[in-house]
Chains A and B, each alone.
Chain A
């Protein structure tokens, strides 16, 4: 299923033209993951596998609840478990559902060199269109959250689609449907932000004074947001970035140097052409051949009369 045009694109990778955008009455959506209500049951992981027909190969046990150990082409969402000792010396079991954050300013899309391999719909979902993907791995370098994974089998990049196929027909993502505690919610970004606000008020009243919403401004906000009990320290949640933004290196590589490089290449071709027009070809003249022949016979004469210090006669007679 490549492109049913069920939703509008607002961004299309490696494209300079405006994508189809007439159907503009779409709300921005968001998935809200309330980490404080998560019990770590992995129903979301199972639902993701089931809806998307994904079966990761069986891995190995490494002494952690994380299973599998990392995202992979078959694992688009993953519960990451952290045992955190708080200031009072008490254990807190932090469980974060990791996966694509669906950035409003997606670094993967910015880095992608293949036209239409990564798109962003008007509702904010960032989606990989596999048939256009060339497997270069630039999206991995562009992503501030280290999410996309390239399959070594088909050389395509994979990540959470936010169930764009379900959302397009008015369903909620599979993980949301499966969550038994209501820790994962889906709706318009505004509704989700409002609901998160209520949750944060409640958490603060229970002593989590740093509770807050993770909707990082460095990527213009995300369409997957977290409610965190310790929003001042996102990194304690299995390395959630403190202030994610597209790397300056990637911005430079995908920004300024592209036009400057093409201009430089074009300028050197033009300079060559102008030189050709102004100075013209550098041709050997009959005079050069005469001088050369003169020198050759001079040297031959010297060699034959034994004046040449290098070698005796012979040579190129």
Chain B
């Protein structure tokens, strides 16, 4: 990816590809899952070639998502560890919503909201995987008792709804904070973006002269 002179690497190429595989899987799972969840949305099954196809393809996409999200965890877990500063950020959430970031504690690579999205998905996806396997009729239809399957299917629905609502906030945050989508498509942000939204991260990069995404990363992608 051509990165303009003077910009910072927010997400390296591998991360971006990994993210968009995850995103594609999530959207497909959401559409096919909602089609089977509520009859009002059954028409979404047409996107997958009908009900039988929707039912057949949903678990396989889910497996790809699990592998893909595991890759996200490997790349992101360290920068998403919870710290005391995150509590201060949560306390000034009204300032965050008001776009008044001068009165919000300085943020490292990820803020508490991003960490919440990351960890809740890291929790919900294994829950969805496990309950999903129990209700996968083709392979595990007779593996557990009907009572277990009834509970699994209820938990699967509830976890999926929680994941969808968290996904909506994630997408909206990307639209709301300008420059975030480019950070995940083309991978770079301007120094001003880093200063405004992730000042602690920016300070660390500036101190080491690193182009990002971490303070000790060197400039492997030579500037064009």
Contacts and interface: CB of A to CB of B under 8 A. Distances in A.
Interface in A128-162: 132, 134-138, 140-141, 146, 150, 152, 155
B193 A299 contact: no
Contacts of B55: 134-136, 155
A283 B190 CA distance: 12
B179 to A, nearest CB: 6
B210 A284 contact: no
Contact size range, B: 35 or more
Contacts of A132: 51
A258 interface: yes
A137 B137 contact: yes
A150 B37 CA distance: 19
A34 B114 CA distance: 65
B176 A134 contact: no
Nearest to A308: B207
A154 B206 CA distance: 62
Nearest to A155: B52
Given A15-B39, A136-B36, A288 B192 contact: yes
Interface in A194-223: none
A115 B39 contact: yes
B168 interface: yes
B14 interface: no
Contacts of A257: 154, 157-158, 161
A311 B209 contact: yes
Given A115-B42, A265-B165, A268-B169, 20 more contacts: A14-B42, A113-B35, A113-B37, A136-B55, A136-B137, A137-B141, A249-B150, A249-B154, A258-B38, A262-B40, A265-B168, A275-B172, A281-B175, A281-B176, A282-B176, A282-B197, A292-B202, A316-B210, A316-B211, A316-B223
